[in-house]
Amino acid sequence: MIIRNGNVVLANEVVKTDVLIQGGKIVKIANDIPANGEAEIDASGKHVFPGLIDMHVHLRDPGFEYKEDIESGSKAAVKGGFTQICCMPNTDPVADNKVVVSYIKHKAQEVGLCKVHPIGAITKGLKGEQLAEIGEMKNAGAVAISDDGVTVKSSRIMRLAMEYASGFGVKCLCHCEDKELVDGGVVNEGVSSTIAGLKGIPRASEDIIIAREIALAESLDVPVHICHVSTHSGVRLIRDAKKAGVKVTAETCPHYFSVTDEIVRTFDTRTKVNPPIREEIDRQAILAGLKDGTLDCIVTDHAPHHINDKNVEYNLAAFGISGIETSLGFAITYLYKTGVLTLPEIAEKMSAAPAKILGLQGGKIAEGEVADITIADLDEKWTVDPAKFISKGKNNPFGGYELFGAVKYTIVDGEIKYKA
């Protein structure tokens, strides 16, 4: 295959050129590559990105297939431009052993769309009491461990997890939430929670655990990764830790850099997400953290739910936003078009950095690299319509939002897996 005349997003620049793919690899990047009977894609006026990698999704399979399954999640991922996704272990049964990890790997290979990398649990049953079999899960294909959705309450268990994970060459991905401080809260604690009469979640509930994970990583001299950062104070903690040489990486999500908690005043349960969408001071800090490298990655925390999980009172609704089909659009609209990040920086956050953090192949466009590629039209405007999502989860509060950046092709190992 030859991709012709595209604006190719490289590590430090965007170059109008051709890309030749053979045997699932990028073999040549040059102008006017001579045709030799290959299939051709005319990418004139479009941008050619390294295949997007989402290191934080929920596929709900096994156990909650009515919310999402590996096939529907993979179809939604390639529509969103993702060539690799990493799925969290809060399934039923929990992905805390090699059997469930192997099931996810094999089912994803049968589906054959994007690459699916399971994330194993830190503790058995996500209960925070006993470490899961980290080595066995890694050998079965797990690329990291996390009790996402639950914070490991015991600092001693968390310390052991970081030590063991480091020994096996995987990272702990930490959901940071002091449950006792959350105390049944459902939205950010602030003016909007007061106006709406909804119980608030203080920033400190997130920051205290971020600080703990940083302290453990520093004392053990091992790496740690902080999930879905939402607070300005959390960004500051991570920035200071990085300056001090702590091996910490971090991620955030589109809903934290694009909107504020004023949207919860509508009582639309689709705005209920954990951690909660916060205030403008937090949004600005997250933009600054993305710009200066404090926040390494943009992930979706794709959390699909059945309509019945959201079609209840706000306090009873499930937490989570189905966001894998809108992520690139939010990044282009709220980061690139506003001048916060360049296209190479967006490619870094959505591809190269996740690959580096988890030790995955791909993440950049270069000769010899795996041919995982996303082609998008950055000037095409489209309107978010959750009813048209391929994901089973239609729980997205941004219906009617106009975004730039329409995915045209998703190519995995040199094969077209999605075409608009």
Tell me the pLDDT tens digit for each residue of 169-204. 999 999 999 999 999 999 999 999 999 999 999 999
Look up residue 102 and give its two tokens: 């192997």
408 lies in a domain? Answer: no
In a domain, 416, yes or no: no
Look at residue 336 in the predicted model and tell me its pLDDT: 98
Residue in this structure with the two tokens 């310390």, named with its chain if needed: 159
Q: Quick check: is 337 in a domain?
A: yes
The question of whether 301 is a catalytic residue gets the answer yes
* Residue 323, in any domain of the structure: yes
Mean pLDDT over all residues of the chain?
A: 98
Residue 356 CB neighbour total at 10 angstroms: 16
**pLDDT of 298:** 98
Tell me whether residue 368 is in a domain: no
Are 257 and 282 contacting, i.e. CB atoms less than 8 angstroms apart?
Answer: no
Percent share of the chain, pLDDT over 70 = 100
Write out the residue range of the structural domain in which residue 174 sits.
51-360+378-403
Q: How does residue 208 score in pLDDT terms, banded at 50, 70 and 90?
A: very high
What's the pLDDT tens digit per position in 169-178?
Answer: 999 999 999 9
Which whole number is the average pLDDT over 124-129?
97
- Number of domains observed in the structure of the chain: 1
Cis status, amide bond into 62, omega within 30 of 0: yes
Q: Is 0.75 surpassed by the pTM of this model?
A: yes
Is residue 191, in this structure, part of any structural domain at all? yes
Mean pLDDT, residues 207-233: 98
Backbone angles phi, psi at 40, to 5 degrees: -125, 145
Q: CB 12: neighbour CB atoms within 10 A?
A: 9
Position 81 confidence tier, pLDDT thresholds 50, 70, 90? very high
Catalytic residue, chosen from 18, 69, 296, 301, is 301
Average pLDDT over residues 348-358: 98
Tokens 């000037």, residue? 379
Q: Tell me, what CATH number does 232's domain have?
A: 3.20.20.140
> What is the pLDDT at residue 294?
98
Nearest to 19 by CA among 59, 65, 50: 50
In a domain, 237, yes or no: yes
Region 264-279 average pLDDT = 98
Residue 282 lies in a domain: yes
Average pLDDT score over residue span 66-93? 98
Query: What pLDDT does residue 151 have?
Result: 97
Q: Residues 54, 357: contact at Cβ < 8 Å?
A: no
**318-334 average pLDDT score:** 98
